[in-house]
Amino acid sequence: MADGWGIVEGILKVASVLVSALRRGDQETVDKVLSDDLKITLQRAIAEAEAQEKFGS
Amino acid sequence: MRTGLLLAILPLLILGCQPPQAAQTALTTCAHALVAVDDVVAPAYASDHAGALEDSETQEEYDAAMQTWNNVEEGMRVTRQALLSAQDALNAWQASATEATFRASLPALLGALRGLLDLLMVAQVDVPTELHEALGLVTAFLEVEDG
């Protein structure tokens, strides 16, 4: 019985996510949502440049 | 197996839309999840970098201090690429009505999302709920295939 409730819970969770996505109008293609570069990738580039400046490698 | 089928079919019924539309919703949700994670990890990366740079005497010491965050950054890039590939496959599905290429792209995307989740946990990042939602949706699509 516990498994049964787990299944129902899982179904409702996925359904809820999809309904929320639909309400937000999530039909944009991935390339339109993502920017050209990730912010963390830009941060890493800046960080490595600063590290190179300090350690001279 | 039946659970997976139910998990995948019910959302499609709720949405009342064609599989490619539901697939686009799943991919778009994944993309929003990646943006949400990026918003969390980018400032954290910058903050830990500042501390590591100040505390380190050598490049090796600095690299070691930043290893966890560099792994997260690489995981983010892998996930981004997997998402873009899945979008290309979905575009092909919409253009030619063949679903196989899209389905073939899902394991790589799921693997990237799971890998990213693991890396975020190692980095002790508060994982945005969007990432868990994205994982649930991609898993649901794969369960349809397996079912």
Residues B51-101: tens digit of each pLDDT: 999 999 999 999 999 999 999 999 999 999 999 999 999 999 888 867 888
Q: How confident is the model at residue B25 (pLDDT cuts 50, 70, 90)?
A: confident
Q: Which of B15, B28, B53 sits opposite A30 (nearest CB)?
A: B28
Shortest distance between the Cα of B103 and any Cα of chain A, in A, equals 16
What pLDDT does A13 receive? Answer: 66
Q: Which residue has the higher pLDDT, A25 or B135?
A: B135
Q: Amino acid identity of A15?
A: A
Domain containing residue A41: 2-55
Contact criterion met (CB below 8 Å) for A40 and B45: yes
**Are the Cβ atoms of A18 and B14 closer than 8 angstroms?**
yes
* Contact (CB<8Å) B15/A18: yes
B14 and A15 within 8 Å at the Cβ level: the answer is yes
Which whole number is the average pLDDT over A17-44?
A: 84
What percent of chain B is predicted at pLDDT more than 90?
Answer: 61
- Average pLDDT (B16-39) is 85
Helix, strand, coil percentages for chain A (3-state, nearest 5): 75, 0, 25
- Determine the angle formed by the axes of helices B129-146 and B100-122, rounding to 10 degrees: 140
ipTM of the complex: 0.83
Closest by alpha carbon to B136, among B113, B105, B104? B113
At residue B1, the pLDDT reads 47
Contact B2, B145 (CB under 8 A): no
Domain count for chain A: 1
Q: Is the pLDDT of residue B3 over 60?
A: no
**Tens of pLDDT along B29-38?**
899 999 999 9
pLDDT value of position A39 = 98
What pTM value is reported for the model? 0.82
Contact B142/A at CB under 8 A: no
Q: Which of A11-20, B10-19, B60-69 has the highest mean pLDDT?
A: B60-69
Is A18 in contact with B22 (Cβ distance < 8 A)? yes
Q: Is A14 on the interface with B (CB under 8 A)?
A: yes
Closest residue to A30, CB basis, from B31, B46, B76: B31
Pick the CATH number of B2-146 from 1.10.287, 1.20.140, 1.10.530, 1.10.40: 1.20.140
- Sketch the domain layout of chain B as residue ranges: 2-146
B contact residues 75-114, partner A, Cβ 8 Å cutoff: 76-77, 80, 83-84, 86-87, 91
